[in-house]
Structure 1
Amino acid sequence: MKTQSQTKRLQRRRRRKRMHVRRVLRIKLERPRLTVFRSCKQIYCQIIDDLAGVTLVSSSSRDKDLRDSLGKKKKSQVAAEVGKTVAAKAKEKGIGPVRFDRGSYKYHGRVKALAEAAREGGLQF
């Protein structure tokens, strides 16, 4: 069990990592940003236009069309399906090159599976 000071320290570290990644990504503002959020059970991703401050496309493992087809798949397989879905939606809207914002997460596991599936679906980053 973690104490409150340990939890706060972890939260500060995550926030610092996330802001560092965002600072690096601010260089290429002309491209929309593909952000990833993962919880213990679900994974969410959005393509955001930072200049306009608008979400262009979003997909998650909680979407109704995905929820029925996922069944009892593993978390990384679910993340790959979400990546394919967001790539297909982006293709419909004519979105090509994006910046990948992994947040404070390592490029490993579910985040990596989502990114690779989005690349296979036609997104460039």
Structure 2
Amino acid sequence: MEVNIKRNRTRFKIKMNSKLPRVSVNKSNRYFFAQLVDVHNAGKIVAALHEKSFVKAAKLAKEKPVERVGKMGEAFGKMVKDAGITSVAYDRSGYIYHGKVKAFADGMRKAGLTL
């Protein structure tokens, strides 16, 4: 219950105070999922990315999960820049800005996005 309150509070702040598209992240113990939603354009999803596509290559390279999500953030940032978007609002969905959530944001910044 408390987690839903946190998530709703952060989404409300982003929706009301930002005219930027929103990058929303979800994570589990195994996977990390991110999507770009343009709130003011009928909620159209511009890009979506799932960590599963990076797992096989990362296991061969023996990367840690946080490093893998960082590379995923860079790839996601490139996809968003190719769509013509340079700045986004980062919705961490109530998760603490630490570990995978922080690595993903840093990866998007490396790709040239403004958060």
Whether TM exceeds 0.5 here: the answer is yes
**Matching residue of 1:69:** 57
Within the candidate set 2, 26, 31, 1:37 is matched to 26
- After TM superposition, give the deviation of residue 36 of structure 1 in Å: 0.7
Q: 8 Å contact 1:29–1:50 — kept in the other structure?
A: no
Structure 1 residue 15 and structure 2 residue 8: aligned? no
User: How far has the Cα of 1:110 moved from its partner?
Assistant: 0.5
2:84 aligns with: 94
Task: Say which SS state the counterpart of residue 30 (structure 1) adopts.
Answer: coil
* TM-score, normalised via structure 1 length: 0.84
CA distance in 1: counterparts of 2:96 and 2:48, whole angstroms: 21
Secondary structure of 1:104's counterpart equals coil
Return the letter of the residue paired with 2:39.
D
Q: Radius of gyration: which is bigger?
A: 1
| 1:81 pairs with 2:81 | no
Say what the alpha-carbon RMSD is for the aligned residues. Answer: 1.2
Distance 2:106 2:55 in 1: 21
* Unpaired runs of at least 5, structure 1: 1-11
Q: State the shift of 1:67 in Å.
A: 3.5
Unaligned runs of 5+ in 2: none
Give CA deviations for 1:5-53 in whole Å, capped at 9, x if unaligned: xxxxxxx000000001011101244210011111101111111111221
Seq. identity, %: 28
- Residue 108 of structure 1: how far off its partner (Å): 0.5
Q: Quick one: which of 45, 60, 71 aligns to 1:55? A: 45
CA–CA distance in structure 2, aligned partners of residues 18 and 30 of structure 1: 19
How far apart are the structure 1 equivalents of 2:71 and 2:35?
14
Structure 2 length-normalised TM: 0.91
